[in-house]
Amino acid sequence: MLASLTRLQRYYLLYTGGFLMFVGALAVLERHGMPPRWIGYSFLIFTISMYAVIGIMSRTSDVSEFYVAGRRVPAFFNGMATGADWMSAASFIGLAGTLYLSGYQGLAFVLGWTGGFVLVALLLAPYLRRFGEFTIPDFLNARYGSNAIRLVAVGAAILASFVYVVAQIYGVGVITSRFVSLQFEIGVFVGLAGILVCSFLGGMRAVTWTQVAQYVILIVAYLTPVAILSWSVTGIPVPQVVYGQVLQQVQQIEDRLFDSPAEVAVRRLYRQQAGEYARKIAQLPDSLSREREELSSRINELKATDAQVRDIMAVERQRRDLPQHPGQARLRWEAAMAAAAERAAPPVPHAAAFPGDGADGGWSQRINFLALVFCLTVGTAALPHLLMRYYTTPNVREARESVFWSLLFILVLYLTAPAYAVFVKYEVLAHVVNIPIEKLPGWIAAWSRVGLVSYEDINRDGILQLAELVLSPDVVVLATPEIAGMPYVVSGLVAAGGLAAALSTADGLLLTITSALSHDVYYRVFRPASSTQLRLVISKSLLLVVAVLAATVAAQKPGTILAMVAWAFSIAGSAFFPALVLGIFWRRATRAGALAGMIVGLAVAAYYIFRVEAGSLAALGLGSLRMQPWFQISSTAAGVFGVAAGFAAIIVVSLFTRAPGKEVERFIDVIRRASPAKGA
Amino acid sequence: MANDRYWPRTRRLTFRLLFVWAIVTFVLTWFAAELNRFNLFGFPLGFYMAAQGNLLIYLALIWFYNRRMRKVEEDCGIDDE
């Protein structure tokens, strides 16, 4: 059987075996007293040096190797590399957590991120491969024949990829700071080194072969903890198949728990708290000065009764921590009010779809859900770093086949994520909620130190209610090994997997950004005469600059990972999808139309995100620009408007401009393999 | 000329599969709450479709497309190097 495999398959089989042996060896060492911190370091050093070795072995100074891996990647391996390229820190760390928190509503991500591959397979991959250049802007330029299009495409590719790459590097920081206790900012730069070792030396070729290696690690790391958890809960280690039963148990507990008197009482307390904040906000600025006066008089009282210095200091600190001015108070209290209101809301059963208030039958939830699915789907079919991968196969048929392999390898993770969420929810409902606070499991305390878990006993009954517990979505996957009481080596494995997911995606994205800058802007637009050697030098130095820039932004800890990534999808979908699809399927699409469509789509999506999210930019004095969302659609689904506007603009403007000439007709005939159109 | 048939057949296949994709993704999902009243393998059906069913249908769509396209290319004598 071994003989029937190709040489590459044998290499990677060997590599997988080696990795499993490494994990096994660490497990044995842990039993003999190896401290957790060293296990964390071993994983970090071992995996990153593996990637480095692959990167160095596939270093190259050939342009075709650097941009498209020499177009020699077989469908199977391109599928695997695409899987790693595709599954980012958001999929690995964030997705199961989002599903845990929002139940059915979170499945929009699962649907969109997989359904997009249908569009890639049917509408784009074969045609891009038949065209066979280096980048997505190349394709748009060849179809519409204009450098302006190329530059707009470059701008959109960089915008979407940069937002996305920041999210990846941020994920690296979260993982390294938790598992090897590096400082967040240092972790970010360690991750950067891991990214650069492969993309810098070998471009697409090195990135491809590292991504295959990273896929193996990330999928092993994702499946192991949840399989063990599934085995300990149900006796069957195939979580994807058996979590239906566990979901039923979750539903039973939910039915019993949600309306229990203690939960209802706690929710009422939070509602009161939210009401208090609302009152204080309404009475600004008097409420703030009154609060300050109250604390001052308390301090004076304490001083008069010569209380402990420590107590006086505590109240003084409270006074010092009060908001400085009414504007700041409003922001802070609004956030606190929103948090309290969220806890006061009755929880939604895990499997319930679109729980509306009855009046509109959950209409706005349905619309929002489908809008998000649409954006993520279209965004998937428009993200340049993904589409670029289909340039690397030897021929069109293999490009089509590799989309199948891509989705297959991706499904392994996406079919598991909902199971993760259900198993963790079961553990929380069965073994954390309704437990006396001093008897809570150890992982709660461990993760509350990092700030990803928090709880407070608001009703002071000494028992934890569900509404009193707040979990950050990132914690679900990262803490599962501890939740199930597994040895630390499994936690280290999960960290290595998360790192692999973030690094592989970041590699692909950085390559997209730099090839856009060096190939499309420098070579194609400014210096068509430059030597190949110079082009590669430019590529590599830009890679370095962009990577450091992204790491610097990530070190500022912006927003949550999943929302940032969702914006990147909307941006890419709005800018690229209409122009790409109409460019292949509609002969009449013209240069002016495409240019208008790309600019309008991009502008609408960016405008919508900016206006809806302006509230969170209040620190920059932009809070007043905040607008009410259209049709209650959230900013993560901005692409619905962007894509629609993009299509409309291309069609309208194209019909008003002169039909494209012979050259475009010929181009379309070539990518469709059609005989020349009649009359042309 | 065999080539004449290639693009129309490709296009027809593409749009048919795209139609299936749209129905499965948008129409079926719209009624998820209603589907949840039924049960499949212990899952509420609406939840199951979004968590597993649709994904497997997507994979099957791509598999079917690849299979048919191989046939179409064979019939039309198209062989991209």
Q: What is the pLDDT of residues A152-210, one digit of tens each?
A: 899 888 888 888 888 888 888 878 777 777 777 787 777 787 777 777 777 888 889 99
User: Predicted confidence band at A680 (pLDDT cuts at 50, 70, 90)?
Assistant: very low
Residues 9-68 of B with CB under 8 A from A: 10-11, 14, 17-18, 21, 25-26, 29-30, 32-33, 36, 41-44, 46-48, 50-52, 54-56, 58-59, 61-63, 65-66
CA distance A376 to B66: 23
B39: phi then psi, degrees, rounded to nearest 5: -125, 140
Cβ-defined contact of B47 to A247 (cutoff 8 Å): yes
H/E element, A244: helix A239-257
Q: Is the pLDDT of residue B23 over 90?
A: yes
Cβ-defined contact of A244 to B63 (cutoff 8 Å): no
Whether the predicted model's global pTM rises above the 0.80 cut:
yes
CA distance A554 to A407: 29
Nearest chain A residue to B1 by CA: give it. A675
Task: Please choose, from the candidates A664, A493, A476, the residue with its C-alpha nearest in 3D space to the C-alpha of residue A582.
Answer: A664
Q: What is the pLDDT of residues A283-325, one digit of tens each?
A: 877 888 888 888 888 888 888 877 777 778 888 888 888 887 7
Cβ-defined contact of B33 to A395 (cutoff 8 Å): no
What is the CATH class of A2-237+367-421+486-672? mainly alpha
| CA pseudo-torsion sign A330, A334, A337, A339 | negative
Q: What Å distances lie between residue A22 and A34, A191, A257, CA to CA?
A: 14, 21, 44
Contacts of B32 in chain A (CB under 8 A): 104, 353-354
Rg (CA), chain A: 27
Cβ-defined contact of B29 to A585 (cutoff 8 Å): no
User: Predicted confidence band at A467 (pLDDT cuts at 50, 70, 90)?
Assistant: confident
Q: Using CB atoms, which residue from B32, B36, B80 is nearest to A130?
A: B80
CA distance A447 to A440: 12
Q: What is the pLDDT of residues A313-369, one digit of tens each?
A: 888 888 888 887 777 788 788 888 888 888 888 888 888 877 765 556 577 788 888
Tokens 């079926």 belong to: B28
A51: phi then psi, degrees, rounded to nearest 5: -60, -40
Q: Is the pLDDT of residue A611 over 60?
A: yes
Give the pair of three-digit tokens for residue A552. Answer: 């610097």
Residues 110-149 of A with CB under 8 A from B: 110-111, 114-115, 117-119, 121-123, 126, 130
CA distance A253 to A507: 43
pLDDT (0 to 100) of residue A441: 84
Instruction: Check if the beta carbon of residue A162 is closer than 8 Å to that of residue A550.
Output: yes
Task: Please choose, from the candidates A676, A488, A458, the residue with its C-alpha nearest in 3D space to the C-alpha of residue A587.
Answer: A676
Domain count, chain B: 1
Instruction: Check if the beta carbon of residue A511 is closer than 8 Å to that of residue A202.
Output: no
Q: What is the pLDDT of residues A366-396, one digit of tens each?
A: 888 899 999 999 999 999 989 999 998 988 8
Mean pLDDT of B55-62: 95
Q: How far is B58 from chain A (nearest CA, A)?
A: 6
- Burial of B31 by CB count in 10 Å (0-12 exposed, 13-18 middle, 19+ buried)? middle
Tell me the sheet residues that pair with A454: A470
Give the start-to-end residue ranges of the domains of chain A.
Answer: 2-237+367-421+486-672, 261-344
Contacts of B17 in chain A (CB under 8 A): 118, 122
B5 close contact with A: CB closer than 8 A = no
Nearest chain A residue to B73 by CA: give it. A397
Task: Please choose, from the candidates A178, A15, A40, A174, the residue with its C-alpha nearest in 3D space to the C-alpha of residue A489.
Answer: A40
Cβ-defined contact of A244 to B43 (cutoff 8 Å): yes
Chain pair A-B, CB pairs under 8 angstroms:
127
User: Predicted confidence band at A3 (pLDDT cuts at 50, 70, 90)?
Assistant: low
Output the CA angle B20-B23-B28, nearest 5 degrees. Answer: 135
Nearest chain B residue to A418 by CA: give it. B51
Q: Using CB atoms, which residue from A107, A122, A248 is nearest to B42?
A: A248
Q: Which domain covers residue B30, as residue numbers?
A: 3-76
DSSP symbol at B27: I
Give the pair of three-digit tokens for residue B69. Answer: 């396209």
Instruction: Check if the beta carbon of residue A577 is closer than 8 Å to that of residue A617.
Output: no
CA distance B51 to B29: 11
pLDDT (0 to 100) of residue A357: 56
Cβ-defined contact of A121 to B62 (cutoff 8 Å): yes
Give the pair of three-digit tokens for residue A521. Answer: 């802007």
